Every structure is written in structure tokens, then in C-alpha cells.
Structure 1
């Protein structure tokens, strides 16, 4: 049976991508992918990162198995309109804006450059010479901008891997070894921060979902350079770390990661599966996940990530080909074996026997997932405790250096409660940013300072409060037993416990997408709030056992 799971899955999303594009040739925003801007007229500027949509549409025009799109003249006309609009919204210094005027985002400029360079390769012989020349000028101007500026607010490995990939492409496009040298420095930075445990740094920890995206960009870098050292780093990241976070129920990643992501980007694994054998097992897992819809699917995503994941699926299809779906070699994934693996730097412990598979993050308040291996279902998941107080919502689900004692029998940890980082823009903040855009943001140094402060407030800044959790996780033959002791300062009052199937301490743009496993009904521990306030401590015990 001939199937192309990636192409067939993405073909269903072309209509969405085209609907975001302003295809009205009489419109002043003809070629804009930001429908909220051009159709709903909600924002006061287009989100430039959405112009990335010209890349998947270029792939569809060139390679699509859906005959309606391949070499279609209307589609080519719309892609050309998207190119013209992209040229039009570029800042004078070559940068692009995503969130606010004069943002001059390094990350967005790199991201859009990757789309422009690849679209150019696909369309160079098909678009008119004048537009191609203008497109080349736009790429050159953006490449000049990124050659002078870096993303400075955090170590985000998947971003830096993208930057290295773009610079390698630019080095060949512009015949300039300076870009290649810059790419090598960026790769060194990623590998310098790669943990001895295999994972790549994402803000302040390990995140399996984003690691798959990082692996894709690194695989592209390997394909361009042929440098075996890059492949060795990828191999280490997969074999020694990533393999442990594919689950028996067909899901992947989640709350135990530093950024809570569950998206899998498959293209990197398809590109190198002939060099790293376990990538074939991962590809088989992904194929099965697509068929059974146990992983995050493109149709669950918003516009930005749908464009990104759809493109990745299309690239994966080019390497996988229209062939039989990859079948996994049974008993090769860690969840199919007996395992007791501790990643002390990441704060993760994976324990598996013939009955269950468990993952605990002891640096993130002891959050966990437990699976029944025989039934292939999730039987336990803890996202931490969330309490409403006069000082805001407090939670123990925050990465910190918890006091931890570990032995063969289990894990004992102590974690503190922090205020959740879930603020959203207010009218006052929006007005203030627009005023800054008209004044101080003319100077890029001021924008960089503002972005650094924004990231600290939204993602990495945290304040400890007078509540702590002492948790003991005990491993047994049929599952785990959790004993919790919550203690608080006598001056602290808890109003109520916030309970739900999923909860997160930090809002991340690429997390909290729906997967089938979200519908599994999991019993959540109930805290006796009255007792906690009266006695300043409360104890609980619960079991997660295979039936």
C-alpha cells in the first residue's frame, strides 16, 4: 500500500493557509497572511512572521501530490503577491516586526529569511525577473541586518539552530564565507550549552518538543556541511535523551518539559534515519501517531504553528517519499523496556517495568505522567498544585533547584510555590508600547533592552512565596504512590485550589495544544483548603496503579 502520510495530512491544511492570505488583487493588503489585520482589521500592523506562509505554498506549487495545487497559475500569482507584500513591510534596516512597530526582531527576520531563501530556490525559474531581483534585494538587506545583530535575551537552542541553518544557506547564496563562519560560531554556542545528558538548552531547561525542532535545523546544517560532528551531537541528543519521552499511548512530551511542548517536528528524523537507526523507530512512532491522532496534529494548531508544522511535514515528505509507512522495530523504544534512567541536570527520572511507564520532573515540583503499558493509556498525570491567593495564583510547577533525595525506591523532593507567569497585555501596556514605538524604539538598543525585560517578566522571572511542597514518590510493581505534605507561612491565606485536566505556570506560544489524551479522565488530588489555612499544613496520599 502506497501512502504519504505527511503530504496527505498537510493537504487538508492548504485551504486554511490560503484563507489566511489576502487574495483580493484590488486590496491594499494583497499578499498579506495576517487575516486578523487585513480582514478582521483588529491590529494596527501585520505580523510579519506569518509571511512564512509563502514557503509551504511554494512547496505545494512545486511538489504537491494534490494536482489542484501543483503548477497552478493562480497559486503562483498569490505567492508572488505574498512576496511583494513581504518586500513592502520590511524595515529600512532589513528587519521585520512581529509584535509591535519598530520591533526589529532578530528572530523574526531569521525565520522569514529561511522562508524567503527556500521559496526563492523553488521559484527562481518561474517568477518574473523584476520580482526576483526585488526579492534578492530584500534577502540581501535582511542578511545584512542579521550579520550585525544577535538574539541576546536567552539561550534558545532551536532558535540558534535556525540561525545557523539560515547563515549556511546565505553563505552559499551570496558566496560569502562570513555567513558560514557565523553559522559555525552559532553551532558552537548550541553545543557548548548541550547537556552531558544529551538535551539542548531551551531557556533554563530541557524540552523534548522544541528539541525535535532543533534537531531538524541541525539536520539541515549537517546536510549542507556534511560535518560528522554535527551528526554526532544530534545522535547524542536522540539516543541519550529524546527517546525516553515517547509514550506508550502514542503521545509525546508535555508538562515535564521546560516549555511544556508536545509538538513533534518529523523532518529531521526522516532526513537522517539512514545514518541514525533509531530515527527509523521515531519515524514509525510518528507515522502511527498521525494515523491514530495521538500526537499534536496540524489541525489542532493556530496560524503561526500550523504554517511551521505543515512546512516541516512537507519537507519530511520529500525525504520519506511515497513509500510504505515506517514500521517500528518493537522493543526498541525505552517505553517498551525496563528502564530506570535519571537525568539529574534536566531534573527528570524515567522508571519503567513490564506494567507501567513513568516520568517525573523533580526540578519542576515533582510533576509526572504515568502510563499503563499493556493498555497503552495514560493513568496518571500531575501538573502541580495551583492556589488562588490575594497575591495572585501560586504554583509549585516551576523549574527550580529543588532539594531532592533519590534512591531505588523513589524520589523525595521539596519545592516552593511561585506566582504564575500568565499576564496578558492590557490597553495601557499596548498604548505605552505604541508610544515607545514612535520614540525610543527608533534605537535598536532600546528595543533589545525592552525585549530582555519582557522575557524576564513573561518567561523567566519568578518570585518565591511562603508555601512549599514536600513530595515523596515511591515506585512499586504496579505503579507509584505519592505522598504530599503542603506547608505554608501562617500569614499566607489560600482562597481556593484551582483544579483542571491541564494547567501551566507559564504561557508558552507552542504549548497547550489539544491532543487526544487530553480527554482521558484523570483523578486530581483535592486539597483541604480549610485545614491548610487553619493548621498551615496538610497531608495527602494517593496511588496511581495499573488495574
Structure 2
């Protein structure tokens, strides 16, 4: 049964998640899911996000589907409770937790792990006073803490956490905070339907926001919430590719994320939502889902897939595809152009990064020019896929993007950098964690430093196909060590990006031989027919 693909993909991750957990009742870190902390001892604090993994275990315990060896296994109940108690023990005194560095007090980690603990606690029928005190303490912290950056999925997630905690503890003390978070969500939803994620539209995190809002709608249905979900569903339908894959490098945060649960919930009153999952399941059946089997991020999709299996709507309408033609999301600066049997997904705010399909097959994935440049005795990477307000022209049969390449964000940690960060966090950052977060966001995620290379990318529809002409200019080609056009390059720090997806098996287009033949001031020109 197609529905079982969700469960099969999720249950395959449970042995890994159990391997990540300290399952020794006599261990001081019993219940901890951060193996780098409790087993390898290569970090000096546990990531609070890891405790989210209790939810996949609780759902595996409750999922009665063919071939599930974890169904109703009593040991899982013990390990889930241990995970919740460790989340409480490892939290700061104010209820917050860290994710990537000490005293970070990360909203995302706090909210994801609280949601998981709340849902698991109730699903397993637990009765634990330590857990209940912890839920209230963390909810209090989330209600009063506002993080830097516009991440709509976090605001929806926090609103859901506060709602669920209030119901469990039978209190309405977070009612004002819930409304404030939802007001942020509504204000950060663009009229085009997408929810703001840092610098623009990321369809992957968009599906997570829909998941949280659809669950909230079950608990507190309002017309405004229903309208926001409906607009979000309509937008998401455009980003399921013809082969059943979803998202990618042409979006603001470069993710292939797809969280299906919200579409099953919304599908109970908006049948179009079910078609989105059906199209994605067709891709999942062909092995086109992205791999999220990473020690830090394996939990998100695992619990969401199991929820989608649990709440799968059995009475489904015929799969509905978006109408052919052009979708121009002018404010997101994403263009989707379908004509004849071809479909082009184009990120104009990312220098013209694109995916091109013919029929049900990916023909070309392109993440713009990438050059390895020697500058000041160091090798630096100049790329064309960073978010920037490029000059664009969008006509019926011609699309053009102009701008400069930018220096890729490739900052790595060194022993000295780590020591400095630890000292800063211990002395100053523990009191101003949001300031540190804001500075790191600027260094690793937002903003662009231009590189001395000017590009233009032109798409022309001629004789029934797209022709792409790329041109790159600079005064000094001698500094360029190598260059090409990649299929999956990204250069900002996003936890859920740079995962493997099968479309990334396409070859790199090596332009180094052409570059070495260029004279000073002579442009590099690349012409292709898609």
C-alpha cells in the first residue's frame, strides 16, 4: 500500500536512533541521544535538539503496520521516558537548551524537543512529575524568548508547543504568547502564499510550517488559520517536481525537506492537499526522497512520516496536477515555467540556479558558476548561487539575470576559533546569546560579499526548447585556478541543506580548459540547449 512507504522509510531509521541513545539505566547520561557527548566524549555538552528523538521511538511503538518489529515493545516505553527525563536534567535552569555551542539557548532545539517530549509523554501514557515540571519551565522560556532572524517555522512550532503544554497542564497562561506567535506567522506569510525563512521562500521549511499550523488548526480552528494553511498548500503544490522530488538548491535555504503530515491533516477539509502527498509518494517509491540519516537531523522526517502514516486519509480524490503554464512568484523571485512536456524551476534571486525536467525526468540541475580563485595567497570560492537582488528581466520567451559572483561562505572552525567561542560564551554570550546568534547568522547565512566577476545568464525559448547562454567577465583570469558549473553547490550554513538526493549524480560541467585559453578582458561564454 502506498501509505506504507511513509512508515517503511521512517522505521528504517529507528535502529540508528536507538544507537544514538545511551540506553544504560546505570549511566549518568541515561536517555541522552547525543552519541558524540555520552559515547565518544568529543564535545563538552549535549545537544538539546537530540532529545527530539523520543518521538520517533514513541511513534514506532504505536505504529501497527506490516513489518514493524518495534510495535508495542515495552523497552521502548522505558527508553522514551528516559529520553524525556534527560531532556529535563540537561536543560538550563530557565528551561532552555543548547544546540551547537554552550549557553546558546536555541529556540529551535528547545521547541522541537519540547514538542517531541509532550507528544511522546501523552502517547505512551506516562506519569512523571519531573517531566511535567520541565514542560512548564520550557514553555515559560519559549513564551518569553524571541530569537533573531525570520524563521516562520520556528514561530509556528512554538505556538503549537505552548498550545499543547497548556492543554496538558490545564492552564491558559500562555494564551497571549500563542496569539503573538501566530500573529508573527500571519504577518510573515507573503501574499504569494510562502512563509519567510531568512532571506526568502524555502518550500521545504514551508511544509514544516504547514505541518505545525494544520495541527494547531485541529486544536483551535479559526478562519485566519484555515486561510493561511490553504494559501500555503496551494503554493506547495507548485514545488512537487514532475518526477516526485521536491525543492532543492534554487530555493532560499537550499533544502529538499518535505514534511507530509500537514497535508494529510489539511486534506481532511482541502482535498487538493492530498494530491501533493500522492505526487511525493510516487517519487519516494522511485527512491527520489533526500537522505536525512544524519546524527543531528534524522528525527524530523522520521516522526513526521510516521504521523502522515497514522493520519493518512483513506478516501482520496484523483491526483490533481497544477495547471500548465507559467507561475511567476515575483516577490519570491522564483519562476516555474511549463510548456509542452518541459518544466523549468528557476531561482532568479539565486543568480538563475535552476532545475529542468522533460516529461517525468530531471534533465539538468544547475547551481551557477563556481570558480576557485587564488587571492592574497589563499584559495577562495566565487559562486553565482548566493541570494542577492540581481538585475532581472522576465518576458514570455526570454529571461535574463545579471549580477556579480559572491564569495562562498566557507568559514571553518579551528581549535583557536573554538576556544575563543567558548570563552566568549562563558563570559559574555551566556548573558546575550541572541547577540552571538545574530553575529553567527551574518557570518554563516545572510549577506553577500561580491567577487570581481560579472555574469549574465539568458534563457531563450526558440524552436520548442530553452537555450541557455552564460557569460562571465573579469579583468584577471590568471587568478582563476579552476571553474565549472555544479549541480548541487550551496554556500550558506543551513542545517537541513547539503543532503544527498539522487538528482545530484549528474556530472559537473568543467570549464577549466576554456578558462585557461582566455585572454585578459575576454569573457567566458557557455551556450547550451536544454
* Same structural fold, with TM-score higher than 0.5 when normalized by the shorter chain: yes
Q: Number of matched residues?
A: 525
| Aligned match of 1:395 | 383
TM-score, normalised by the number of residues in structure 1: 0.91
Shift of 1:524: 6.0
| Aligned match of 1:101 | 102
The answer to whether the aligner puts 1:216 opposite 2:211 as a matched pair is yes
| Aligned match of 1:440 | 428
Shift of 1:155: 0.5
Identify unmatched segments of 5+ residues in structure 1: none
| Aligned match of 2:363 | 379
Shift of 1:288: 1.5
Question: CA distance change for structure 1 residues 93 and 359 in 2, over 3 Å: closer, same or farther?
Answer: same
The CA distance in 1 between the partners of 2:511 and 2:107, in whole Å, is 44
Q: How does 1:114-129 map to 2 (within 5 A)?
A: 114-124=115-125, 127=126, 129=127
Between stretches 100-109 and 17-26, larger displacement belongs to: 100-109
The CA distance in 1 between the partners of 2:442 and 2:124, in whole Å, is 41
TM-score, normalised by the number of residues in structure 2: 0.93
| Aligned match of 1:264 | 258
**Residues 18-72 of structure 1: CA deviation (Å, up to 9, x unaligned):** 1111112232222111112222222111111101111221222234435642332
RMSD across aligned positions (CA):
2.2
Q: Contact between 1:213 and 1:264, CA under 8 Å: does it hold in 2?
A: yes
**Residues 143-189 of structure 1: CA deviation (Å, up to 9, x unaligned):** 221222111x2111111111111122233233443422212221221
Q: Contact between 1:382 and 1:524, CA under 8 Å: does it hold in 2?
A: no
Q: Secondary structure of 2:145's partner?
A: coil
The CA distance in 1 between the partners of 2:518 and 2:161, in whole Å, is 54
Question: CA distance change for structure 1 residues 532 and 186 in 2, over 3 Å: closer, same or farther?
Answer: farther
Shift of 1:470: 1.4
Q: Secondary structure of 1:46's partner?
A: coil
- Which residue of the other structure, out of 247, 258, 267, is the alignment partner of 1:253? 247
Q: Contact between 1:54 and 1:82, CA under 8 Å: does it hold in 2?
A: yes
Q: Contact between 1:421 and 1:458, CA under 8 Å: does it hold in 2?
A: yes
Q: How does 1:441-460 map to 2 (within 5 A)?
A: 441-443=429-431, 446-460=432-446
Shift of 1:75: 1.7
Q: How does 1:141-540 map to 2 (within 5 A)?
A: 141-151=137-147, 153-239=148-234, 241-297=235-291, 300-320=292-312, 328-329=318-319, 332-334=320-322, 337-373=323-359, 376-391=360-375, 392-443=380-431, 446-490=432-476, 493-521=479-507, 528-532=514-518, 534-540=520-526
The CA distance in 2 between the partners of 1:176 and 1:189, in whole Å, is 23
The CA distance in 2 between the partners of 1:527 and 1:507, in whole Å, is 31
Q: Contact between 1:284 and 1:328, CA under 8 Å: does it hold in 2?
A: no
| Aligned match of 1:36 | 36
Between stretches 174-183 and 347-356, larger displacement belongs to: 174-183
Question: CA distance change for structure 1 residues 406 and 441 in 2, over 3 Å: closer, same or farther?
Answer: closer
Q: Contact between 2:370 and 2:486, CA under 8 Å: does it hold in 1?
A: no
Q: Contact between 2:290 and 2:501, CA under 8 Å: does it hold in 1?
A: yes
Shift of 1:273: 0.7
Shift of 1:387: 1.0
